[in-house]
Amino acid sequence: MEVAIEGARLHLAVLGEGPPVLLVHGFPFSSAMWEPVGRRLAEGGHKVLIPDLRGFGKSKGAPVSDLGTFVTDLLSLLDVLWVNGALPWVGFSMGGYVAFEAWRRRPDRIESLALVDTRAGADDPAARDGRLATALRVDREGSGVVADAMLPKLFAAATPPSQRQAVHAAMTDAAPAAVAGALRAMAARPDSTPTLHKISVRTLVIVGAEDAITPPRDAEVLVGGIPDARLRVVRDAGHLAPLEQPAAVADALLEFLANPVLRRR
């Protein structure tokens, strides 16, 4: 479905019926990256809301310069959908950065958190400069610049070439203005590490065992800092665990959504 909010027109996949759960995609992806997991959550009795962030996928809107705009958009979207209270937020990578910002702004709208292949830290100066330089290149040359740079770092060794090619094509198709805007917004994001202890909702941290972008040591920082956090490491998955191992990621989420008490592993 399409939802008009102030300054943007957001595309949203809605799957299943039941208690709602919000899945926020990463960079430079779209709701499509969550669909295999979303279908399983829907089969498990959830109403799964998977928006395209503004400018990505089928959503329209001026590019963001800070991640707070994505948060404002998502809260407006939930209001339009009459999801007025708190619900579980599941954020993948940049979607995790968005979830941290949502927690800072409106913790009352977050019932629980699942942080998937993401990190709390801000960019160091070299990474920030690199992102800003890449944004300039994307402005000039298009999103293929990002697709080519990210592709070698996204997958586990066992992930088949056909899946790698499909992901490369999807990244190349992302709208350059949205990609450049998100790069600048990520470069400007604050360090969430010092405030992890303030996250008072139960949290599941999921990471691909072979994630080279936000590796398991980043996940351990999250679990160490958030008071009620549990870790699930997904085998044969790199950064794109939700696409590489959707059944394992969905099972972990279903168990988490059904049962607040998980074994530490």
- Residues forming contacts to ligand MLT in the complex (CB under 6 A) are 26-27, 93-94, 186, 213
199 vs 241, beta carbon nearer ligand MLT = 241
Amino acid at 77: L
The Cα 104–Cα 120 span in angstroms is 13
We find the least distance from the C-beta atom of residue 258 to ligand MLT, in angstroms, to be: 27
Torsion of CA 17, 48, 155, 262, to 10 degrees: -80
Q: Which is nearer to ligand MLT, 94 or 102 (CB)?
A: 94
Shortest reach from residue 117's CB to ligand MLT, in Å: 7
Q: How far is the CB of 200 from ligand MLT (least distance, A)?
A: 25
Identify the DSSP state of 50.
E
Minimum CB distance to ligand MLT, residue 222 (Å): 14
CB nearer to ligand MLT: pick between 5 and 94: 94
- Least distance in Å: CB of 145 to ligand MLT? 13
Q: Which of 22, 68, 72, 12 is nearest to 48 (CA)?
A: 22
Q: Mention every residue, 6+ apart, whose C-beta is less than 8 A from residue 203.
A: 112, 113, 114, 115, 222, 226, 228, 229, 230
Residue 41 or 211 with smaller CB distance to ligand MLT: 211
Burial of 128 (0-12, 13-18, 19+ CB in 10 A): middle
Q: In this complex, which beta carbon is closest to ligand MLT, that of residue 153 or of residue 235?
A: 153
